[in-house]
A and B are shown apart, each in its own frame.
Chain A
């Protein structure tokens, strides 16, 4: 499983209020949420983002609210992976649960700049910044996490497991 795309780089403490402002939480429709993703820190994001692109943040990415709408908005906008120095814990759980790949890599996060082309191989655990010509090792996703991501979320992966049995 791989993704390859263009980096959208943000700083430390990207909070869930800027990922998806609360004024749009009167719906839980993923496409409606994606239309306002990152709006309060980057009005260009929704215009530019392409399927498979990456968001890269600093420390404590996704801090604040427990709203699952935040990773849902990122996922529905087409982003294939979020890389950060560290993640806020509720965001981390939520991202895994909905099948949005996220990776902690302080080095890759620090080096990446907006516009860089970055590819990630989840199973072997490597991040390649093609623009910078740099490669980073990260712990590969354990099989259960790959399954969740491939199935499109925790619940879907559980159903898949039942069907196989």
Chain B
């Protein structure tokens, strides 16, 4: 039986010729990742395990990004726990404030993850690296601790859903619209326990940042991972960022999929997910009058340079509507600096936006942009669950950077067409 791309990567890391869906395997991890929320628990478990050293200090990555810069004394203690552990264990890939970024933007940028890798992270959006042709998935703190100790993790080999992409996205339509469209189609548990594999002639037209956004939100359909084939776009990114050896895996021609969807990229419209699930999608031509209080542009989903360029294109020479709060947070220091060089930050500030240092803060309702009861945000983030960005009676609408920026100008949710006309 032919294997999917994911199955091939898992087999290779388990030292097996082949694997089948449902098989339990133990596989070697190339990178084990944690943040300031999940690492303290993992460190506690690691200490219970009783091993003195991590399996490979160059393969453990710790990024304080959720409550960093330290939100309060408790989060300062959590970040300190990460810092002390990293120092004790000689973990070179610990990224302190000033060089850190949101983990899933930072690891690819630093070249720590590459094609063919097997990556686990104690953060659900670890699936982002599938954009580079890697197998990557989120786990909890105990799994992170065990992998830090052993360099291994057990997996149940997933079956897969194939998304064959055709054609090309229209102008002002992005990877975010594509993944929201897909989640709207299959639901928040549509890919539960499975891989989402992407293929087809349409892949070539997606930028690497589009692919990061799509793979990032695979978890919002319940998937174990999302993965793209490696092509010229991937290779260009990898060669610019990573010196690590990489391996290109391809799905077999006779690979078996549970379901196959053909998606015509030309037909995708700007899409918004309404509260309180990412599957509640509407295209912008089908949206009633919804006034907004806050717009958030950034996160591991949409805080990369392409996202900031798109938001700035809409905001250039325009003003944020009075009464609306716009918060922009570039995902890494390098992206921040690039945005300064390109004048994007100036555009945001001139438009009346607030620009923040990299942090996960507002996306998870941690800090730096919390909503009051009854308030409504339009955000480029990934989740719109009850209370996600603050008060349980607040609301989050998910959209692309283009649509979010248009919303900031109009003070309500609408497509970019209304702003650009």
Do A and B assemble together? yes
- A residues contacting B by CB (< 8 A) are 13, 15, 17-18, 21-23, 25-28, 39-41, 59-60, 63-69, 71-72, 86, 88-90, 93-94, 97-98, 153-156, 158-159
Contact call A60/B386, Cβ cutoff below 8 A: no
Interface residues of B in 24-80 (CB under 8 A from A): 37-38, 40-41, 44-45, 48-50, 66-67, 71-72, 74-75, 78
- B residues contacting A by CB (< 8 A) are 37-38, 40-41, 44-45, 48-50, 66-67, 71-72, 74-75, 78, 121-124, 126, 138-143, 145-146, 188-189, 192-193, 222, 224, 277, 364-366, 370, 383, 385-388, 390, 392
A66 and B142 in contact (CB under 8 A), knowing A13-B277, A25-B37, A40-B386? no
Contact call B224/A23, Cβ cutoff below 8 A: no
Closest residue to A22 on the B side, CB-wise? B364
**Dominant secondary structure of chain B at its interface with chain A:** loop
Q: Which of B66, B142, B192, B390 contacts A155 (CB 8 A)?
A: B142
Contact call A63/B188, Cβ cutoff below 8 A: yes
How many Å lie between the Cα of A72 and that of B390 in the bound state? 22
Contact call B48/A97, Cβ cutoff below 8 A: no
Q: Which of B48, B78, B366, B385 contacts A28 (CB 8 A)?
A: B78
Question: Within 8 Å CB of A154, what residues of B?
Answer: 142, 146
Contact call B143/A60, Cβ cutoff below 8 A: no
Question: Within 8 Å CB of B370, what residues of A?
Answer: 23
Task: Pull 29 A–B residue pairs with CB atoms less than 8 Å apart, ordered by A.
Answer: A15-B383, A17-B364, A17-B383, A17-B385, A17-B386, A18-B385, A18-B386, A23-B366, A25-B366, A26-B67, A63-B189, A64-B383, A65-B123, A65-B124, A66-B38, A66-B122, A66-B139, A67-B38, A68-B38, A68-B142, A69-B41, A88-B189, A89-B193, A89-B222, A89-B224, A93-B143, A154-B142, A154-B146, A159-B50
A13 and B188 in contact (CB under 8 A), knowing A41-B386, A63-B222, A65-B124? yes
* Interchain residue pairs A-B with the least CB separation, the first 6: A94-B140, A97-B142, A60-B189, A68-B140, A26-B74, A22-B364
How many Å lie between the Cα of A18 and that of B122 in the bound state? 19
Question: Within 8 Å CB of B38, what residues of A?
Answer: 66-68
Shortest B329–chain A CB gap in Å is 16
Closest residue to B43 on the A side, CB-wise? A28
Shortest B44–chain A CB gap in Å is 7
A68 and B41 in contact (CB under 8 A), knowing A27-B74, A90-B139? yes
Closest residue to B190 on the A side, CB-wise? A60
Shortest B101–chain A CB gap in Å is 19
